Chain A
Amino acid sequence: MKMNLVALLAGVIFGLGLALSQMIDPNKVLNFLDISGDWDPSLAFVMMGALVVTMVTFRFILKRPSPIFESSFHVSKQTVINKPLIIGAAVFGVGWGMTGYCPGPAVASLGLFSKEGVLMVVAIYAGFFAERYFVKK
């Protein structure tokens, strides 16, 4: 119950952040990715703003023996850069550049009643299911 409330609250704050920073606007994202055009570097500042906070907080949080409402931290222990990671990231980047949406803004755009946002979220799930069925783990 408590974990669910934290998740909801964290989601609301994340959504407010995406809206305030305008990362929720796919055209703004495309202007950031368009380095050879009228480049808008704003989104680099979104990442910087987030990292200034997390670089500090993560140090303290991960020093704790456990999270407050859970018995242990769920953090990836993989350390090797392999083919699936790089191919997957490259494919994701192509989709990001085609649409201007990464997963967070795609979901948040539903709060703006975006019609293409609905299509985007459905297409993302189609990609999830395709990866699960066609890529052998």
Chain B
Amino acid sequence: MENFTPISALLGGALIGISVSLLLLFNGRMAGISGIMNGVFSAPKKEEVWRTLFLVGLIIGAALFQFLTQDSLSAREGYPLWLIIIGGFLVGFGTRLGSGCTSGHGICGIANFSIRSIGATLTFMASGMLTVFILKHLVGVV
């Protein structure tokens, strides 16, 4: 096992849980990031503002962590950009067709005991693992 960090993972996960709880308690919304991103350009005007602010908050949160920990994280460099372009497109297409991503299905949906979200989460975990297996161990591009 490489660089196993269970404590910071649990605490970071708990922060994510607190965030989605706040959004549900006060605003009545499930914090599915793909749905929030999509709604920035497709929801009614009033709906676009909070979505945009949530995404701005995500960026501020990451930048704030960098600032508080004196740049403990670094952005990845040198990864094949064709994988980012095609993979990013598939993430966008797939999360719309499948009505959610890691946050919407994996955290909100499962906490709501949604059978759809459990099915979706098992599916994207499995296809993600299979994809990494093929790219890393069979093809060797990453």
Contact = CB atoms under 8 A, between A and B. Distances in A.
Interface of A: 2-4, 6-28, 30-31, 33-55, 57-58, 61-62, 64, 66-70, 72-76, 78-81, 84-104, 106-117, 119-132, 135
Contacts of A49: 9-14, 16-17
> Which secondary structure characterizes the binding site on chain A?
helix
A38 to B, nearest CB: 4
B97 A88 contact: yes
Contact of B65 (A16, A28, A81, A117): A16
B88 A126 contact: yes
B90 A127 contact: yes
28 contacts: A14-B54, A16-B12, A17-B16, A23-B9, A23-B12, A27-B76, A31-B2, A33-B131, A46-B12, A47-B13, A51-B107, A51-B111, A52-B14, A54-B20, A61-B25, A88-B120, A96-B128, A98-B87, A99-B84, A101-B84, A108-B58, A109-B62, A109-B75, A123-B89, A125-B92, A126-B92, A127-B89, A130-B93
A85 B116 contact: yes
B37 to A, nearest CB: 6
Contact of B124 (A25, A79, A89): A89
A73 to B, nearest CB: 4
B63 A92 contact: no
A65 to B, nearest CB: 11
Q: Top 10 nearest A-B pairs by Cβ distance?
A: A11-B57, A15-B61, A127-B92, A49-B13, A88-B98, A21-B12, A123-B88, A53-B17, A97-B131, A93-B127
